[in-house]
Structures are given as structure tokens and as C-alpha cells.
């Protein structure tokens, strides 16, 4: 992936919308197969796409983390892969977002806002709020909000200036409209692209989308992958048209 010109370059983006498979390894193999065969340059997977919130087997989930990470680091070359996994550190478990590019971890942050309705705070330790900041790859500024974090306006403020906001989620079906409205509002408010990845399980919202800074979006609940080449020049066009200073 060559260094991009924000004003004129394009980026082929894929947001994944899979159904969760029965085993961790099946989910991992499925993800790896896609990464190895796609031309997409940025790939965003749903929150905990490999293991789900498997609280009954949390130690097994944590042991799977280094195995999965090693395989992903081995195969992710000139593409950017974004996903979250359950990581154990000491006696604590974290829902950690990882950005892999060129066989390296470029950025990592643990979920800060835990979803009490799903009992996340009983199993996970909250991450550091200060880790939720934009980071740069090849001249593009990215930021990550993990699922429930999308609801908090102070975090929107914290990631201002990002060109592309990535949202790996596991968002429930009963709150489907919330996910769609909030993610589009974030794109418009922060004048950024937003990429949402959410699974297609029966109790999940789907609603994976690639959203432009002006609010246009590409989504299809019937697809396992939504791919679209975004035009990065839209960032400068929208920001020039409506100045937020």
C-alpha cells in the first residue's frame, strides 16, 4: 500500500457482516480466507468476531488470543485488518481492538465503555479512555470506537480530526435503528468516513455500512461483505464546504 494523497486518492474498503460459526477456529479460518483472497485494502471485522462473548469459556477464549494473533500477523501484509479479541492481562480480561498492517500491530486499544445491559463489566475490565485517539497509517488518520462507545458524545469529540472512523460492533437487533442513526450522525458531525462492521446472527442488527462524510452510505443486510472504493477527496470537499471551526 503506497502512501496516499488524502485529497485525491481512493481506498478499497470492506466491512464484514458474517454469521458466527460454531468454533473459534472456523471463524478464524473464515476470516483468513477472506483476507487472503480480497483486493480490499482496509478490512473491518465485527467485535469479537472469532469467539463472541463466550463468558462460560473465558480462559479458553484468552488462550486462543495469541494463537489467532500469530496467524493473522503472518498473513496480513499490504492490507489493514481491524478486529477485536479477548485478551487476558494478569487476572483481568480486556476486549481489545487491534489494527494489523504489514505483519505488525499498528494500534491497539481496549474497550472503555462496557455495555452493562450485556453484563460486560462483570467479565471485562474497562480500557483506558486516553487510548481512544486518532492514529495514522500511510497519511490517513483513523480512529476506533468499539460498539457501545458509539453512543458517547465525549468520545466523538475525542476523535475529531480522524479521516476514517472504524466501528467493530456486536449490536443487538432491537437497537438496529440506533446503530444506523448514530453512525451516520457521527460521519456528518465529524466530517469523516465511518465504517461499521456488525454480525448477521439472528439476534444482531447487521447494518454494516460504509458511510461518507456527507451522510451517503453503502449497506446491504443480505450481504456477508460490503465492499466499496471510497474517494478520499470527499474529506477535503466537505470540510471546505462547511467549516466547523
Residue with cell 456488525: 198
Residue closest to 236 by CA, chosen among 216, 218, 213: 213
**What are the structural domain ranges in the chain?**
10-241
SS3 44: strand
For residue 243, name the pLDDT band (cuts at 50, 70, 90): confident
User: C-alpha grid cell for residue 170?
Assistant: 456486536
Cβ(197)–Cβ(167) under 8 Å? yes
10-241 belongs to CATH 3.60.110.10: yes
Question: Residues 203, 30, 64, 198: what is their CA dihedral angle, to the nearest 10 degrees?
Answer: -30
For residue 160, name the pLDDT band (cuts at 50, 70, 90): very high
Is 0.85 surpassed by the pTM of this model? Answer: yes
Cβ(184)–Cβ(217) under 8 Å? yes
Residue range 183-216, pLDDT digits in tens = 999 999 999 999 999 999 999 999 999 999 999 9
For residue 1, name the pLDDT band (cuts at 50, 70, 90): very low
For residue 8, name the pLDDT band (cuts at 50, 70, 90): low
Cβ(190)–Cβ(162) under 8 Å? yes
What DSSP state is assigned to residue 113? Answer: S
Residue 102: which region, alpha, beta or left (left: phi > 0; alpha: psi -120 to 50)? left
Residue closest to 84 by CA, chosen among 56, 66, 109: 109
DSSP output for 204-232: B----EEE-TTS-EEE-TT-SEEEEEEET
Amino acid at each position: 500500500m503506497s502512501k496516499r494523497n488524502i485529497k485525491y486518492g481512493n481506498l478499497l474498503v470492506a466491512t464484514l457482516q458474517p454469521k458466527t460459526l460454531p468454533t473459534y477456529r472456523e471463524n478464524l479460518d473464515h476470516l483468513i480466507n477472506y483476507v487472503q483472497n480480497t483486493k480490499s485494502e482496509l478490512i473491518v471485522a465485527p467485535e469479537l468476531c472469532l469467539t463472541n462473548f463466550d463468558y462460560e469459556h473465558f480462559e479458553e477464549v484468552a488462550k486462543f488470543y495469541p494463537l489467532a494473533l500469530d496467524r493473522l500477523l503472518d498473513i496480513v501484509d499490504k492490507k489493514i485488518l481491524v478486529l477485536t479479541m479477548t485478551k487476558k492481562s494478569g487476572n483481568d480480561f480486556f476486549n481489545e481492538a487491534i489494527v494489523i498492517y504489514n505483519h505488525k500491530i499498528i494500534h491497539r486499544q481496549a474497550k472503555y465503555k462496557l455495555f452493562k445491559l450485556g453484563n460486560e463489566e462483570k467479565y471485562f475490565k474497562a480500557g483506558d479512555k486516553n487510548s481512544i485517539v486518532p492514529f495514522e497509517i500511510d497519511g490517513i488518520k483513523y480512529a476506533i470506537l468499539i460498539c457501545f462507545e458509539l453512543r458517547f458524545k465525549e468520545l466523538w469529540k475525542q476523535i475529531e480530526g480522524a479521516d476514517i472512523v472504524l466501528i467493530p460492533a456486536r449490536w443487538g437487533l432491537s437497537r438496529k435503528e440506533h446503530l444506523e442513526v448514530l453512525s451516520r450522525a457521527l460521519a456528518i458531525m465529524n466530517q469523516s468516513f465511518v465504517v461499521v462492521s456488525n454480525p448477521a446472527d439472528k439476534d444482531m442488527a447487521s447494518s454494516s455500512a460504509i458511510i461518507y462524510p456527507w451522510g451517503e452510505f453503502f449497506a446491504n443486510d443480505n450481504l456477508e461483505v460490503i465492499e466499496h472504493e471510497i474517494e478520499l477527496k470527499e474529506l477535503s470537499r466537505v470540510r471546505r464546504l462547511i467549516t466547523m471551526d
